[in-house]
Amino acid sequence: MESRQVARREMGLWIAALILAVGIVIGGYLLGNGLLRAKQADRAVTVRGLAERNVTADLAVWTLNYSEQGTDAAAAQAAIQRDTETLRRFFAGLGFPASALAPAGVGVNQNFVNNVPHVTITQRLQLRTTDIPRARAAVARQFDLIRQGVRLQEGSGMTYSFTRLNDIKPAMVAAATRDARAAAEQFAKDSGTGVGGIKSATQGYFSVEARDGEQGGYGVADTPFKKVRVVTTVEFYLD
C-alpha cells in the first residue's frame, strides 16, 4: 500500500516536472520570438522621394501702375483718364473683354517746388485672365503703351499662377513615394536585406516655381511655364 503511494507521488512529481519543462521551453520560444520580432521591427531605413512636374500657368494677372503729374490737379486728372482710356483700347484691340480689366487703386500726392504746388496722380488698372497666350501677346506689346504716352511704373510686370495644384497632388505624392521606395530598395540591396511596408511617412510642402528660373519685375514678365516639386520622407521596414 505504501509502495503504491510512493509510486503515485513520484508519478505526480514527474508529471509536474514535465509540465514545468514544457512551460519553460514554450516560454523561452515565445520570448525569443518576441525579441526577434522586436528586433526586426527596429530594422528600418528612412529615405526621401522626389517628384517634379512641368505645368503651364492657368491664370495671368497684370497690375499696371501709371501716373501723371503737373501743377494743375484737374489737368493731371484728365491726363490719367486719357491713359486709362488708352489702356482699355489697347486691351480691347487684343481681344480682351472689358470685364477682364478692373481698377485696382488710385493715389494722389501733392508737394511744393519753389512755392509752386505740384500734384502726382497714380492709378492702378488690373488685367486678370485665364487666356495665357493672349496675356503673353499683351506683354510682348507693352512698349506700344509707352509710345502712346502711358508711363508704366515699377511693379507693372505680368505674373502667372498655376491654380490647379490640388488636381495633381495625389499623383505627385504617389510618384514621390515610388521614388523613395526605389532608394530604399537600393539601400536594402547593398545591405543584403529586403524592403517591407511603410513604417511612417511625411509629405513635404509643394513648391511652384519658374521652370527656367525667370523672375518677374519692372519691364520683365514672369514666365507661364512652371515646375511643381514635392519631397516626401518615408521610413520603410527592412525584412
Query: Are residues 79 and 146 located together in one domain of the fold?
Result: yes
85 and 112 belong to one structural domain: yes
Residues 178 and 226 placed together within one structural domain of the fold: yes
Our count of domains for the chain comes to 3
64 and 150 belong to one structural domain: yes
3-class secondary structure for 8-69? HHHHHHHHHHHHHHHHHHHHHHHHHHHHHHHHHHHCEEEEEEEEEEEEECCEEEEEEEEEEE
Mean pLDDT confidence for 34-48:
63
What domain range is 90 assigned to? 60-159
Residues 135 and 119 in one domain: yes
User: What pairs with residue 59 in β-bridges?
Assistant: 161
Contact present, 106 and 122 (Cβ < 8 Å) = yes
Is the model more confident about 24 or about 211? 211
Nearest CA-CA partner of 102 in 79, 125, 70? 125
Kind and range of the H or E element at 7?
helix 2-42
What CATH number is associated with residue 147?
3.30.70.2970
Are 118 and 154 in a shared domain?
Answer: yes
pLDDT band at 76 (very low <50, low <70, confident <90, very high): confident
Same domain? 102 vs 174: no
Rounded to 5 degrees, φ, ψ at 230 are -145, 140
Same domain, yes or no, for 1 and 36? yes
Mean pLDDT of 8-34: 51
How high is the pLDDT of residue 165?
93
Query: Which CATH number belongs to the domain containing residue 221 in this structure?
Result: 3.30.110.170
Share of residues in the chain with pLDDT > 70 (%): 79
State which of 106, 132, 159 marks the end of a domain.
159
All three cell numbers of 170: 495625389
Whether residue 130 is predicted with pLDDT greater than 90 in this model: the reply is yes
**206 and 90 housed in the same domain:** no
pTM of the predicted model as reported, rounded to 2 decimal places: 0.71
Q: Are residues 65 and 155 in the same domain?
A: yes
- Residue 151, pLDDT > 70, answer yes
Instruction: Say yes or no: 67 and 114 in one domain.
Output: yes
Show the CA angle centred on residue 197, arms to residues 188 and 47, nearest 5°.
50
Domain identity same for 168 and 52: yes
Task: Please report how many Cα atoms fall inside a 13 Å half-sphere around the Cα of residue 154, on the Cβ side.
Answer: 0
Which residues have C-beta within 8 Å of that of residue 188, sequence separation ≥ 6? 45, 194, 195, 238, 239
pLDDT for residue 27: 46
3-state secondary structure of 167: helix
Which of 123, 139, 159 is at the close of a domain?
Answer: 159
Closest CA to 207 of 226, 191, 189, 228: 228
- The predicted pLDDT at position 170 comes to 93
The H or E element that residue 92 is part of is helix 73-93
Closest-CA residue to 238 (of 199, 194, 186, 200): 194
Highest-confidence segment of 2-11, 131-140, 144-153, 155-164: 131-140
Q: Distance of alpha carbon 213 from its chain centroid, rounded? A: 16
Strand arrangement, sheet containing 116-129: 101-113, 116-129, 59-70, 158-161
